[in-house]
């Protein structure tokens, strides 16, 4: 699988809701707009959220994480644990920042922006974007590819492109003219 120099760590909170995770991960498949990264800690947190908050069975949560690992074997960040104690963001998400620093990510994609204040990120050249902001960024990198990927996703789930955009990329829903 081809990778992109645009590397982004995906936090568990954006990987848990399936439609958003589907959109994010489809954009990392051919044609690749960015390279996704995560850690064991992020995937453990994801499994916990899937079971406890979203009602997945243990088997369903494990299957979903296994499918992600299988589809993106190079996404796993290793060797970040020694950085966790020196991170200055919210203690609950220091492992996410440490993984981003270790893999040289450009972005952390998280809807918990308050856990990643700019003062904790600037020294590493990182920025935290919400899923909506990140998806908007991906659109601007290659609008044709972005619309093609989201059109296919919308068809796969029985939605219109407008429905998908309004739900997952509200910042673009009025900007993009749906044919």
Q: How far apart are CA 84 and CA 82, in angstroms?
A: 6
Largest Cα–Cα distance in the chain? 50
Helix intervals (H) in the chain = 12-15, 18-26, 40-52, 58-71, 94-103, 118-121, 131-141, 143-157, 161-168, 170-173
- Hey, what are 83's tokens? 């950085």
pLDDT of the residue at 2: 56
**Residue among 104, 170, 158, 138 nearest 29 (CA):** 138
pLDDT above 80: residue 176: no
- Which of 83-87, 136-140, 143-147, 161-165 holds the top average pLDDT? 83-87
Mean pLDDT of 156-165: 90
pLDDT, tens digit, 9 for 90 and up, residues 48-92: 999 999 999 999 999 999 999 999 999 999 999 999 999 999 999
Mean pLDDT of 139-154: 92
pLDDT, tens digit, 9 for 90 and up, residues 104-124: 999 999 999 999 999 999 999
Q: What angle do CA 110, 106, 133 make, to 5 degrees?
A: 45
**pLDDT band at residue 31, thresholds of 50, 70 and 90?**
confident
pLDDT above 60: residue 35: yes
Q: How far apart are CA 39 and CA 98, in angstroms?
A: 10
pLDDT above 50: residue 21: yes
**Sequence-separated (6 or more) residues with CB below 8 Å from residue 168:** 19, 20, 23, 131, 132, 135
What the chain holds in terms of domains, given with CATH numbers, is: 7-130 (3.40.50.1010)
pLDDT of the residue at 56: 97
pLDDT above 80: residue 168: no
Q: Average per-residue pLDDT in the chain?
A: 93
């Amino acid at each position: 699988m081809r990778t992109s120099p645009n590397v982004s760590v995906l936090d568990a909170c954006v990987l848990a809701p399936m439609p958003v995770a589907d959109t994010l991960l489809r954009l990392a498949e051919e044609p690749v707009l960015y390279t996704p990264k995560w850690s064991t800690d992020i995937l453990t947190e994801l499994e916990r959220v899937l079971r406890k908050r979203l009602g997945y069975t243990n088997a369903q949560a494990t299957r979903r994480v296994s499918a992600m690992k299988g589809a993106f074997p190079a996404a796993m960040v290793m060797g970040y644990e020694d950085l966790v104690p020196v991170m200055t963001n919210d203690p609950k998400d220091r492992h996410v920042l440490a993984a981003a620093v270790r893999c040289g990510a450009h972005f952390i994609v998280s809807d918990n922006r308050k856990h990643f204040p700019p003062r904790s990120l600037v020294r590493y050249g990182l920025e935290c974007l919400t899923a909506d902001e990140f998806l908007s960024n991906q659109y601007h990198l290659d609008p044709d590819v972005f619309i093609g990927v989201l059109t296919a996703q919308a068809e796969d789930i029985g939605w219109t492109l407008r429905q998908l955009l309004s739900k997952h990329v509200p910042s673009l829903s009025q900007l993009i003219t749906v044919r």
